[in-house]
Each structure stands twice: as C-alpha cells, then as structure tokens.
A and B are shown apart, each in its own frame.
Chain A
Amino acid sequence: MSGKSMELQSTASMEMETRTSTSDYTNPCPICLGPINQSSYLDKCFHNFCYNCIVQWTKVVSGKRSCTLSSIKCPLCKTESSSIIHGLDGHNFQRHYVNPDFQDSFILSKAHRYRLQCYYTEPGFLNDIFDVQRYWKLQKYLQANQWLEVWLKRELQALIQEEDVDIIMHHFLGLINSFFRRNEPEYQTETPELKRKRFSQTILDAAKPFLSARADRFILELELFLASGLNIEAYDSVYLQRLGWNKPIVPSVANEEDLGLKSVTPYLYIFDCDPDDGD
C-alpha cells in the first residue's frame, strides 16, 4: 500500500516538474515570443508580457497620437489598462503608468512627497519637539485625536502610492481607537512602556502586509503625530521647518490655478497657499 502511494506521489511530483519547466515554453511573451523577462501585467486584464516589450509597445502607440494617452489596449484582448504592473516579488510591486503625468497629478503631490521624505530622515528626528514618552505617561491617548483619520489617509496614500486607501485607513483607525478604548483590568496596571510596546506590536502586525519594510517607521511617525497633539497644518509646518523645506506661508492670488488643479485631492489644502513652486 505504502509503496503504491509513494509511486503515485513521485509521478505527481514529476508531472509538476514538467509542467513548471514547460510553462515558459507554452506561455511565451506574446510580443517577442520568447520566455517572459521581467514579468509584467496590464492592470485590467492581467495579461502577461515582458516589461520591456509592453513598455515599448506603449511608446509606439502613444507616439502615434498627438495627445497624451491615459490607457493602452491590451495587444491580446483589447481591454484598456492605465498602468503596467511589474517588479512583483510577493510583497511589493511597481506601476508604470501609461500617462506619466497621471502619477504626479495624484500620488506625488507635494504633501505626499514631503511625507515620504520624512521616512528618509533619522528616527527621532523630532523627538526634541514632541515628547512621545510623555504622551504615554500622561495617558494623552485618552483624548481622541480628531485629525487622525485625515493624517492616516494621506500617510497611507504616500506610502502605498495608491489613491484609494480607505479600506486600509479604516482598518488602522479601528485598530488604534479600539486599542485606546479597551480597558480590561489586566491592562489597567500596565506600565506606560509596556502599553506602548503592545501598541507598537499591534499596529506593526497590521501594517506589515501593506507597508512591509516601512511598517516600523510608520509606527514611529504615527506616535509622533499623536504625541504632537497638533492638527495637520500645524504639525506639517513644524516638520517642514525641520526638513528645511519651509518657506514663509503667504497666501497669494497667483496660486489660484493650483487651487483648481489640486482640488481633486482633498487633503492638499495645506499646500494650496504654499508659494513654494520654484522647485
């Protein structure tokens, strides 16, 4: 009996092997007909191409048009896609937009860029201004932070580089609020340090799948924002000053055009009156 099942197993595994080895051969890139190099997918139909092949084809198609293309027809099924997904490693992927301005118009807005920039500074960059330990010691978290939702949304948009982060944002928001609201007896005697540690671990577990390598820093930034007790505008101005990005904020009429453009993204009002357009 056992011998037979062994035999079955080995043939099954052999089948698996041949299948994987022929998959390159039976599923070549439809453009070069060779094995797929730097696997990429169109974002609607998920047809698979070499990265270079599909990018080149996108260039050819957009070269024929006088106006900028925002989407590309799949060479196989003609479904319109607006981006090419590539660099998949099981955790992260990259997106190549057919319209290169598209990415800038939303994701790399100035507010998001500044937030990303914060992740390249040393941790503890603002610890002399905002006292995170004091926040935990004095149980300041008992007072709900009304700006947290807006802050979280922008932060996640910058880190994930997606416009629609509402689901993830509400997931975190619920997690944070329920953590602070929970008041079981076993937690009441907890030291502030322990509570802080438990908080970090809870959020870290939730953040890892979405933010991977940036999850640790995300928690520090989250604590920092909570500890500041400031609204977003005030918080940003402190941060920007430290980053050296800041220029005196003078509302000017010349930016009216920007206002119109940026009104698409609801959380950019902070920068609407920032005349820092030179760079």
Chain B
Amino acid sequence: MQASRARLFKEYKEVQREKVADPDIQLVCDDSNIFKWTALIKGPSETPFEGGVFQLAFAVPEQYPLQPPQVRFLTKIFHPNVHFKTGEICLDILKNAWSPAWTLQSVCRAIIALMAHPEPDSPLNCDSGNLLRSGDARGYQSMARMYTRLAAMPKKG
C-alpha cells in the first residue's frame, strides 16, 4: 500500500516534469485519489483513429507495481482488441506479460501502439476482428473512422 503510493507519487512528479515531452499523452491524476488516473491519448497518425482524442480510465491496485493497473477506454472505439461496450482492453502486458518496470505513461504508449497494430486473432470486438480477418481492411477502416468521428472528435456546430 505504502509502496504503491510512493511509486505513484514518483510517477506523478515525472508526469509533471515531462508534460511537454510526449504530446500524444496527457496523464491526469484524480484530485483526491492517487489510485485513480485518467489519460487522454491522441489517435496515431495514418490510422482510422487519427485526429481523435481517446480517454482512458486507470484503476491502480494496491499491489501496484507488482500487479498491473486496470485500464479501459472511456471513449467509444471500434478496434478488435477493445470491448465495444465496456472499453476493456485485451493486451498481454496488462495481464500475464505485465512487468513492474512498466509505468502508467509507458502503458499509454503501449495502448497507442495497439491502436496502430490491432491483433485480430484475439478479438474482444468480433465484428471488428472479423472484418480484418476476412481481409476487408477498407470496411474496418471506414467503421473505425466513423466511430472516431462520432465519439472521439469535438462535435461541430
């Protein structure tokens, strides 16, 4: 408990110090609870998520960093490895490939990488996975782009 708090505080200071270092990630700690964080990440360029800003919610366990944080998308996203309703993410480093050397910041980077490189063979969103698995890249991209526009971009007018 104390160890996780100390480590999260170190991460907090690091985030404050390097705010400008990674313009694609904006990590914010909850005002009253250091175990609750949110992040805003930019959709990677040359993907259907480009131009969108996606919100992630982190719930950090007390055993952190020995246990991985729980992360989910708050913003709706059409991606094979993200549950369309709950925002749950299927990513090995958040499960059995977790290492305590990961930080919240580097987890965000891993999620951005996952957005650019979906794994259609372990889908949480079967519709999205099936489009890619059947070779319909155009169908996948237009669906994903539509949801990016609907949910991850500021509404016009």
Within 8 A of B (CB), among A28-81: 28, 30-34, 53, 56-57, 60, 73, 75-76, 78
The reply to whether A75 and B3 contact each other, CB–CB distance below 8 Å, is no
Smallest CB-CB A-B distances: 10 pairs: A33-B10, A30-B101, A75-B99, A75-B101, A31-B100, A60-B66, A76-B101, A75-B100, A32-B7, A33-B7
B6 within 8 A of partner (CB): yes
A-side interface mostly: loop
- Which of the residues B11, B63, B101 comes within 8 Å of A31, measured between beta carbons? B101
Q: Which range contains the number of B residues in contact with the other chain?
A: 10 to 19
With the chains together, A28 CA to B66 CA distance in Å? 17
The reply to whether A31 and B10 contact each other, CB–CB distance below 8 Å, is no
Within 8 A of B (CB), among A7-32: 28, 30-32
With the chains together, A78 CA to B100 CA distance in Å? 12
Q: How many whole Å from B73's CB to the nearest CB in chain A?
A: 26
**Given A56-B66, A57-B66, A60-B66, A34 and B100 touching (CB < 8 A)?**
no
The reply to whether A57 and B100 contact each other, CB–CB distance below 8 Å, is yes
Q: How many whole Å from B66's CB to the nearest CB in chain A?
A: 5
The 15 listed contacts between A and B (C-beta, < 8 Å) are A31-B7, A31-B101, A32-B3, A32-B10, A33-B10, A33-B11, A34-B7, A34-B10, A60-B63, A60-B67, A73-B99, A75-B100, A75-B101, A76-B99, A76-B101
- Enumerate chain A residues within 8 angstroms of B10, measured Cβ to Cβ: 28, 32-34
In addition to A32-B3, A32-B7, A53-B100, 13 A-B residue pairs with Cβ atoms within 8 Å of each other are: A28-B10, A30-B101, A31-B7, A32-B65, A33-B103, A34-B7, A34-B10, A60-B63, A60-B66, A60-B67, A73-B99, A75-B101, A76-B99
With the chains together, A33 CA to B101 CA distance in Å? 9
- Enumerate chain A residues within 8 angstroms of B103, measured Cβ to Cβ: 33
- Enumerate chain B residues within 8 angstroms of A60, measured Cβ to Cβ: 63, 66-67
**Given A53-B100, A57-B100, A75-B99, A31 and B65 touching (CB < 8 A)?**
yes
- Which of the residues B6, B66, B99 comes within 8 Å of A34, measured between beta carbons? B6
With the chains together, A33 CA to B103 CA distance in Å? 10
Q: How many whole Å from A80's CB to the nearest CB in chain B?
A: 13
Within 8 A of A (CB), among B87-119: 99-101, 103
Best-surrounded residue of A31, A33, A73, A78 (most CB of chain B within 10 A): A33
- Enumerate chain B residues within 8 angstroms of A76, measured Cβ to Cβ: 99, 101
The reply to whether B6 and A32 contact each other, CB–CB distance below 8 Å, is yes
- Enumerate chain B residues within 8 angstroms of A53, measured Cβ to Cβ: 100
Q: How many whole Å from B21's CB to the nearest CB in chain A?
A: 15
- Enumerate chain B residues within 8 angstroms of A78, measured Cβ to Cβ: 99
- Enumerate chain A residues within 8 angstroms of B101, measured Cβ to Cβ: 30-31, 75-76
With the chains together, A33 CA to B99 CA distance in Å? 13
